[in-house]
Amino acid sequence: MAIISSTVLIILALVILGLLIKLLSKPLRWALKLLLNALLGFVFLFAVNFLGGFIGISLTVSWLNAIIAGVLGLPGVLLLLLFKYLL
């Protein structure tokens, strides 16, 4: 009888663990995508500052620019350039 109850508990724990992993996989995937987008945004922001110095284009690295570049990625850096030079 103890073997059956232990087996049922193990199976129940595995089912709960599987459901928990399935439940958390979408937010984890979303967070990893946001992290990758933020990393690419920062790389592009610093690339614009470094390479843009040769042709006269620069963006200040401020908290607002860092947040926009981090959340939006490359389109955010392009948006910052658009706002700075066209508006």
Backbone Cα Rg of the chain: 23
Convert the pLDDT of each residue in 34-56 to its tens digit.
Answer: 888 888 888 888 888 888 888 88
Question: Tokens for 9?
Answer: 């508990």
The whole-number pLDDT of residue 82 equals 92
In the chain, what percentage of residues exceed pLDDT 70? 99
Does residue 81 contact residue 48 with C-beta atoms inside 8 Å?
yes
Question: Model-level pTM?
Answer: 0.62
Does residue 73 contact residue 41 with C-beta atoms inside 8 Å?
yes
The whole-number pLDDT of residue 1 equals 62
Q: Is residue 14 a part of any domain in this protein?
A: no
Tell whether the model's pLDDT for residue 22 goes beyond 70.
yes
Q: Is residue 3 a part of any domain in this protein?
A: no
Number of domains in the chain: 1
Domain boundaries, position 57: 26-86
73: left (phi over 0), alpha (psi -120 to 50) or beta: left
Q: Is residue 73 a part of any domain in this protein?
A: yes
